[in-house]
Amino acid sequence: SFGLTQPPSVSVSPGQTATIPCSGDILGSKYTSWYQQRPGQSPVVIIYQHDIRPSGIPERFSGSTSGNTATLTISGTQPVDEADYYCQAWDINTRVFGGGTRLTVL
C-alpha cells in the first residue's frame, strides 16, 4: 500500500488561484483523481485520470501531475469553492485517499 499527503488547509482570496498538492511514492505511475466535498454532502469527482474534468465541472478546475506530486489548481477561485478536497489514487489492488485539504476562500 502507499500513502498520499495533502496539506490540512489552504486559504485563498476570491478571484485568486488556489493550488492543492498531493504527494506520494510512485504517484506518478498511478491514475489520480480529485474530489470536492461540501459540508453534509457526498464527495463529487472533479478531476479523474490526472487531468480530465467530468462534464458539468467548471473549467476553473484543473489537474496535473509531475513526478510524485499531483496538483489541483482552481483558477479564479469563487466563494462557492470553499470545501474539502481529496486526492485519490488507483492501483489494481487498492485505492487510496489523501487526508484531505480544507479550502477557505476569504
Partner 1 sequence: EVQLVESGGGVVRPGGSLRLSCVASGFKLDDFGMSWVRQIPGKGLEWISSSNWNGGNTNYGDSVKGRFTIFRDNAKNALYLQMNSLGVEDTALYHCAREGLFGYFDLWGRGTPITVSS
d(CA 97, CA 89): 7
| Length, in residues, of the chain | 106
Residues in region 35-74 near partner 1 by CB under 8 A: 35, 37, 42-45, 48-49, 54
Q: How far is the CB of 87 from partner 1 (least distance, A)?
A: 10
Output 16 or 51, the one with its CB closest to partner 1: 51
Q: How far is the CB of 93 from partner 1 (least distance, A)?
A: 5
**Of 75, 73, 67, 82, which is closest to residue 23 (Cα–Cα)?**
67
Contacts of residue 30, Cβ cutoff 8 Å, sequence gap at least 6: 89, 90, 91
Query: What residues line the site for partner 1 (CB under 8 A)?
Result: 1, 31, 33, 35, 37, 42-45, 48-49, 54, 86, 88, 90-91, 93-100
